[in-house]
Amino acid sequence: MRRMVASVTVLALAVAGGCTDRIDPTMGLQELESMERKFTGAVKVAEVTPRATLVAHVQHLQLIQQELGRVATSDCLKDAKQSLDRHMGLTIEALLSFIKNDNAERDRHLQESRGELEAYRRNVQKCGQ
DSSP 111-126: HHHHHHHHHHHHHHHH
Note the pLDDT of residue 15.
Answer: 43
**Count of structural domains within the chain:** 1
Cα-Cα end-to-end distance for the chain: 34
Q: Is residue 42 part of a domain?
A: yes
pTM, two decimal places: 0.81
Segment 21-31 shows an average pLDDT of 81
pLDDT(4) > 80: no
Q: Is residue 40 part of a domain?
A: yes
Domain residue limits at 113: 26-126
Alpha helices for 17-72 (secondary structure H): 29-47, 54-69
Q: Which of 19-23, 58-62, 83-87 has the lowest mean pLDDT?
A: 19-23
